[in-house]
C-alpha cells in the first residue's frame, strides 16, 4: 500500500499506548503527516525512543508518561493541554490490555477489574476530560481501537471481548451525542497485526503473515484528517486493505 499523503500540519493529536505496536506506529505516522503528537504511555524510556524517531523524521511530540487508569493524573491532563495548545484535533484511543486467555468461569476478580479499568473505564475518563478540547477543533476526530472478537465471541477471550464491546457501545453513544458538532467519532478494528499483544495471545503464529502496525497506522492517519467525514461507523482494517470497505 502507498504511503499516505494526508496533511495534518497545525493539528494536535493525542495517542494513548504510544510506546509500542499500533500506538507507536500511529504516533510516528501522524507526526510524519505534520501533526504535533501528544504521546501517552507508561514507559518513559520507550516514549523517549519514539520522540527520537519523530524528531529524526522532522516531526514534533510532547511526551506524557502516565498510566491511564490513574484518575487524578488524567483529570490533570485537560488543563495542561488547554493551557499549552488550546485545543485537541485528534484523539486515538489505542491503549488496551489483554489478559491470559481463560474460560469465563475461571477469570479472577482482580483480572476482570483490571481489564475493565484499562479497556473501558479509562477510555470513558479520557473521553470525558478531552471532550471540551476536541470541541475547540474545527474538525475533531476520535478513533477508538477495538477488536474482531466483539463479533465472533471467541471462547476464552471473555474479559477482553466484554470490555471492548463496552468500548464500542461507549463510542457509538458518544458519536450520537456529538453528531451535530464538528466532531467525527469512529471505531477501528485493526484485526490481527504484528504486535506483542498478538504474540502473547497466539504464541505459535508466524508474525510475518500478519500486517505490520505501519499499515494500520496509515488508515488511522486517513481517518484523522479534517476531510474525513464518516461518523459513528466501525471500520475493519482487513476489509479496507482488501478494498471491500472504503475509508
Enzyme catalytic residues:
160
Whole-angstrom Cα distance, residue 45 to residue 26?
Answer: 18
The 3-state DSSP class for residue 17 equals coil
Which strand (E) or helix (H) includes residue 220? helix 213-223
In the block, cell 458538532 appears at 181
Query: What SS3 state is found at 151?
Result: helix
What 8-state DSSP symbol labels residue 153? Answer: -
Phi, psi values for residue 176, rounded to 5°? -65, -35
- 60: Cβ contacts below 8 Å, ≥ 6 apart: 31, 36, 37, 54
CA distance 107 to 83: 43
The DSSP call for residue 101 is: P
- List the one residue out of 80, 83, 21, 27 whose CA is nearest residue 55: 27
Nearest to 7 by CA among 168, 224, 188: 224
- The span from the CA of 25 to the CA of 44, in Å, is 17
Amino acid at each position: 500500500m502507498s504511503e499516505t499523503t494526508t496533511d495534518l500540519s497545525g493539528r494536535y493529536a493525542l495517542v494513548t499506548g504510544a510506546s509500542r505496536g499500533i500506538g507507536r506506529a500511529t504516533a510516528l505516522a501522524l507526526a510524519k503527516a505534520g501533526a504535533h503528537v501528544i504521546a501517552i504511555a507508561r514507559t518513559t524510556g520507550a516514549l523517549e525512543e519514539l520522540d527520537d524517531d519523530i524528531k529524526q523524521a522532522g516531526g514534533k511530540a510532547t511526551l506524557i508518561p502516565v498510566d491511564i487508569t490513574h484518575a487524578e493524573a488524567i483529570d490533570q491532563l485537560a488543563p495542561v493541554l488547554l493551557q499549552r495548545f488550546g485545543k485537541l484535533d485528534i484523539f486515538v484511543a489505542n491503549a488496551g490490555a489483554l489478559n491470559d486467555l481463560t474460560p469465563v468461569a475461571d477469570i479472577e476478580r482482580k483480572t476482570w477489574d483490571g481489564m475493565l479499568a484499562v479497556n473501558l473505564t479509562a477510555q470513558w475518563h479520557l473521553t470525558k476530560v478531552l471532550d471540551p478540547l476536541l470541541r475547540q477543533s474545527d474538525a475533531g476526530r476520535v478513533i477508538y481501537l477495538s477488536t474482531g472478537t466483539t463479533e465472533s465471541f471467541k471462547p476464552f477471550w471473555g474479559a477482553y471481548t466484554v470490555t471492548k464491546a463496552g468500548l464500542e457501545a461507549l463510542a457509538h453513544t458518544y458519536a450520537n451525542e456529538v453528531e451535530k458538532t464538528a466532531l467525527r467519532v469512529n471505531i477501528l478494528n485493526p484485526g490481527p497485526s504484528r504486535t506483542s499483544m498478538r504474540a502473547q495471545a497466539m504464541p505459535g503464529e508466524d508474525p510475518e503473515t500478519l500486517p505490520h502496525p505501519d499499515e494500520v497506522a496509515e488508515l488511522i492517519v486517513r481517518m484523522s484528517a479534517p476531510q474525513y467525514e464518516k461518523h459513528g461507523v466501525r471500520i475493519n482494517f482487513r476489509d479496507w486493505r482488501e478494498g471491500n470497505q472504503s475509508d
